[in-house]
Amino acid sequence: MALFNTKKLVCMAAGAALFTGCADESPTPLGTESQTLGLERPAHMVDSGFLVTEPTQGGCIDRRQDPSGSCNNFETKEKVYLALGSDVPDGEYFFAVIDPTMRPWGFLDGADGNLSDTTPTRGATSASGDVLRSRTFTLYRGRIRDFHSTHAVSARDGRPLIQLMPFDDTTDARKTYVAGLCSIDAMRITDCKFDMFRVRDETAVPTPVSGKVYYDANTNGRFDEGEAGISGVTILYLNETDGRLTTDRGGNFVAQLMPDTYTFMQKLMPRPKWMQTGNVFEQWSTEGESRISLNWFRTYEVSVVDERPITGLNFGNVCVGGGGGKLLSFWAGRKGAELVSTADVAKLSEMELKGEGGDFDPSSHAELAKWLEAAPTGNVNMALSAEMAALKLSTLHGFVGEEALVRAQGAHSANVSGFSTVRELLYEVNSVLGEIRPEIRVEERKVMLRRALADANVNRSFVQADEAACRVASE
């Protein structure tokens, strides 16, 4: 009969499954590629205070400390204790520490991967474990009996504790172990329960992990030669403890990290002026076995495996502000009347301007001004084409450059970072207004395009030339 409810059994993986025979129970696999111990206890792990620290010694380095003492990350092997909670029925048991990189049946003495027995781990010449009878005990009414061993015993919140030491070192690069508690006659994994833990590796050589925060002047989502670094930006790396770095005068940062998996992210700069644009392209490199992946939301997952440097964790940013845009009221008013020529009106007439009842082809500034004043309360086509006309006039009179980049979220002309040139944005809007058979959901697109044009016309969405221009704009 199974010792524990098999619905709570954990099937763990390290490239291939550590324990087989779990398919009927359909557990969620814990993969070394996708999970990181120390961030939070995974929901599918057995969560009964299985592994704890001894209350007088401490030694848990989890990022979030569990009040019960439950722990997944320990300072040293000596700090790891097995806790016998109320979910463990009376009976005779043994325990073992298992190497997660070996398969299967590692809880049995003499099997590959059993780190607690007297058989050397694969590749080793000696073993530091002990015999099975030293890891065998009887539990009766919540108390340990018939335990004749050198393993230290203690108690926490009324629960008996047994120290897991001694056991051999794991071969896993991240110093990950599996603890197993099994009925004395266990031959199947359903006769045991398991939990994973990690011990800090004091002998490991730290790996330099570096990158750059840069001003992405062309908003292409990648660092280009000549783009300036941004100093004073906070970089966070998350694991069992939260790390924090600050970029230097050149925008560079470097962390010295032990083998493990980390999430790197940039702390967002003040909005609405600053926006993160990158990276959206991979620029990282390493000559070692470490693995790096770039997430779509511009963070990195870094699995440090060896001591060879990892470089190129880059983060791009720009700030937006003024760029010469003029309001509809400017072009409808006295100053607009002084500037708008007959040639300007003719150019606007060639565009797909819309009025309340259909096409609008102005013949004079007076007619144009009346239309501009009425446009904000008109239909969506009228409002959109009026914003387009205002931005077009700003380009005709040199207030705005056609190659200037503006924020254009949702526009088809926008690049990977959500920016478009004024020329491309005007072309797209004119094309949308001129479509005979509009695309599905075109009204939503028109709303986004109007917002992009309006932001440019109120002079707040232009990409600034550099960080210095951003500081000037904010003063």
Residue 4 has pLDDT above 60, yes or no: no
User: What's the topology of domain 207-315?
Assistant: Immunoglobulin-like (2.60.40)
Q: What average pLDDT does this structure show over 296-307?
A: 92
Of the candidates 318, 282, 317, the one whose C-alpha atom is nearest the C-alpha of residue 301 is: 282
Which range among 8-17, 41-50, 141-150, 231-240 shows the weakest confidence by mean pLDDT? 8-17
Whether this prediction's pTM lies above 0.75 is answered by no
* 318, β-bridge pairs: 275
What DSSP string runs through 26-61?
Answer: -PPPEETTT--TTTS--TTS--SS-EE--TTT--B-
pLDDT tens by residue, 206-224: 899 999 999 999 999 999 9
Quote the distance between the C-alpha of residue 387 and its chain's center. Answer: 38
Residue-level pLDDT at 237: 93
Q: Is the dihedral of CA 62, 66, 68, 70 positive or negative?
A: negative
Residue-level pLDDT at 12: 34
Residue-level pLDDT at 279: 95
Residue 474 has pLDDT above 60, yes or no: no
- Highest mean pLDDT among 96-100, 164-168, 242-246, 330-334 belongs to 330-334
DSSP-derived pairing of the beta strands 462-463 and 310-321: antiparallel
- Segments making up each domain of the chain, as ranges: 6-199, 207-315, 328-459
Of the candidates 35, 113, 129, 112, the one whose C-alpha atom is nearest the C-alpha of residue 77 is: 129
Q: What average pLDDT does this structure show over 350-378?
A: 94
Residue-level pLDDT at 406: 98
Task: Identify the band that residue 63 occupies on the pLDDT scale cut at 50, 70 and 90.
Answer: low
Residue-level pLDDT at 104: 62
Residue-level pLDDT at 246: 94
Residue 394 has pLDDT above 90, yes or no: yes
Task: Identify the band that residue 51 occupies on the pLDDT scale cut at 50, 70 and 90.
Answer: confident
Residue-level pLDDT at 378: 86
**Average per-residue pLDDT in the chain?**
85
Tokens representing 424 are 């491309």
Residue 7 has pLDDT above 70, yes or no: no
- Highest mean pLDDT among 26-30, 91-95, 112-116 belongs to 91-95
Residue-level pLDDT at 38: 31
Of the candidates 340, 376, 379, the one whose C-alpha atom is nearest the C-alpha of residue 453 is: 376
Q: What average pLDDT does this structure show over 30-42?
A: 30
Task: Identify the band that residue 2 occupies on the pLDDT scale cut at 50, 70 and 90.
Answer: very low
Give the residue with greater pLDDT, 69 vs 195: 195
Residue-level pLDDT at 411: 95
Residue 390 has pLDDT above 80, yes or no: yes
pLDDT tens by residue, 403-450: 999 999 999 999 999 999 999 999 999 999 998 776 667 889 999 999
